[in-house]
Amino acid sequence: MTAHKGLFIDGRFTEALDEATLEVLNPHDGTVIATVAEAGAADVDRAVDAATRAFPAWSSLAGSERGRRLLRLADAIEANADEFARLESLDTGHPINDTTLLDVPRTAATFRYFGGMADKFEGNLPPVDAGFLNYVLREPIGVVGQIVPWNFPLMFCGWKLGPALAAGNTVVMKPSELVPLSTLRLCELFEEVGIAAGVVNVVPGYGNRAGAHLAAHQDVGKLSFTGSTRTGRSIVEASAGNLKRLQLELGGKGANIIFDDANLVAAVNGSAFAIFHNQGQACIAGSRLIVQESVYDEFVERFVALASSIRLGDPLSSDTEMGPLTSAEHRDRVLDYVAVAIDEGGELLAGGAPPDAPDLRAGFYFAPTVIRADPTSRVCREEVFGPFVTVSSFRDEAEAIEIANLTDYGLGAGLWTSDLSRAHRVAATLRSGMVWINCYKRVHPASPFGGVRHSGYGREMGFDAMHEYTEAKSVWVNVNATVPPWYRRD
């Protein structure tokens, strides 16, 4: 039986004005699990109106009050943790162990972090000229649009709604058309935790309809976008009409450098997590392995053995280590990239195709894939966004850095070494918003997350996110009411 879900506007679930719907598929077997109302431009307008009306009351609540409601939301997510984990696995294909241990607790932790932040984020008092007081307020922007991709829908609710709401903004969020279910389930918790009607509105729909309209909307003061670099560019153009503020979290092509003095067991395991977690559908995935010649054979042998042993299966089974990709179109795109790699002289070391196990044939599965490739080839420069990792070798530190910096992206990068000086030296030279040393893909609500160059600009998380969701207002006071000499007339 399939569920039916409406748009969430002004605190209520509602149909799209033109009654359009979209089907949500289970990536494990391609069956329809829900139909969801599909927002068009007029529905986005309704959502923006609701958020506009809700803004004065929400923004004038004391920070501690907004914080209290976000803390309650974190508690409510935890109280429904099993249901959220199951729903996220069913909808996205993430293995249930991952959604249980990572996605759901991280979402609650992020709301809790920003709940705590709401009454601690302060303005400041610049030391200006004698006789004057200057204070700087951090004010919410107003109605904020948020457009989210399909790889971590629930977690991105925490990352985006947390700081936006803590700062006093109201929100219109457009989740991905492929995976809207956990976001809509979250909406069911708002009333009980005290997040009033209109403060958060959720309009599932397609990018070229609901998304493009939200990006161009005159009454939206800021847009936070997570998605591909190509869509990011169209968001920049769409935002020009009202010069709305932008935050762009775009694609990546993470370099993962293995030096010959690394702990190889840790490096092999950490590098497998870096690429195969969430089937490689992560902007920060370590999708380019760059391995020092002297340990290349040993590392690659162990890595390929691990990749080939990963258990693919039903995301709802606790034995499953890797689930399906989120859509059939995306699985086909990954397959196309295997052909591109081979055409360019790449050597297939593992995977390269959907698995042929009978129980996985109806789903959107793809085997963990390892390909030896020239670091200048297309598959080493373009984002594949699947369980697809290239591997190439380097002679010395300088060459490793040169290869790592070959792409236009600059989101996440990793390096494995036991030489502390080298670790810091190399981290400083990588063109990347985040660097992991002897680990990969660590994230935390307190640590800024974001990229440089074609990976976008702006930061999620931490105090940086609070700056992203507020404007500075500088107020000057002439303390002694003196008239400065340059316009004195008496």
Evaluate the CA torsion angle 257, 260, 261, 262 in order and state its sign. positive
Q: CB of 205 within 8 A of CB of 179?
A: no
| Cβ closest to ligand NAD, residue 9 vs residue 411 | 411
Residue (of 172, 176, 150) closest to 161 by Cα position:
172
**In the complex, least distance from residue 277 CB atom to ligand NAD, rounded to whole angstroms:** 13
Q: In what order do the strands lie in the sheet with 143-147?
A: 12-14, 7-9, 200-202, 170-174, 143-147, 222-226, 245-249, 456-457
The active-site residue out of 38, 88, 187, 283 is: 283
> How far, in Å, CA of 63 to CA of 395, rounded?
54
Burial letters 378-391, b for 16+ CB under 10 A, else e: ebbebbbbbbbbbb
**In the complex, least distance from residue 206 CB atom to ligand NAD, rounded to whole angstroms:** 6
Interface residue list for ligand NAD (CB under 6 A) = 147-151, 174, 176-177, 206-208, 211-212, 215, 226-228, 231, 234-235, 249-252, 283, 383, 385, 411, 451, 455
What are the two backbone dihedrals, phi and then psi, of residue 130, each rounded to the nearest 5 degrees?
A: -60, 140
**In the complex, least distance from residue 161 CB atom to ligand NAD, rounded to whole angstroms:** 15
Cα of 96 vs its chain's centroid, Å: 19
| Cβ closest to ligand NAD, residue 148 vs residue 435 | 148
| Cβ closest to ligand NAD, residue 218 vs residue 480 | 218
| Cβ closest to ligand NAD, residue 180 vs residue 346 | 180
CB closest to ligand NAD, residue no: 207
User: What residues form DSSP beta bridges with 258?
Assistant: 291, 416
Q: In what order do the strands lie in the sheet with 32-37?
A: 3-5, 32-37, 21-25
> How far, in Å, CA of 256 to CA of 449, rounded?
18
Report the DSSP pairing between strands 347-350 and 288-292.
Answer: unpaired
Q: CB of 328 within 8 A of CB of 363?
A: no
| Cβ closest to ligand NAD, residue 250 vs residue 379 | 250
| Cβ closest to ligand NAD, residue 69 vs residue 217 | 217
**In the complex, least distance from residue 483 CB atom to ligand NAD, rounded to whole angstroms:** 52
Evaluate the CA torsion angle 394, 397, 399, 403 in order and state its sign. positive
The 3-state DSSP class for residue 291 equals: strand
**In the complex, least distance from residue 251 CB atom to ligand NAD, rounded to whole angstroms:** 3
The active-site residue out of 38, 88, 177, 249 is: 249
**In the complex, least distance from residue 411 CB atom to ligand NAD, rounded to whole angstroms:** 6
CB within 8 A of 41, min separation 6: which ones? 209, 210, 213
**In the complex, least distance from residue 369 CB atom to ligand NAD, rounded to whole angstroms:** 18
| Cβ closest to ligand NAD, residue 260 vs residue 464 | 464
Query: Active site includes 298?
Result: no
Query: Active site includes 249?
Result: yes
Residue (of 228, 237, 173, 232) closest to 205 by Cα position:
173
Active site residues: 249, 283
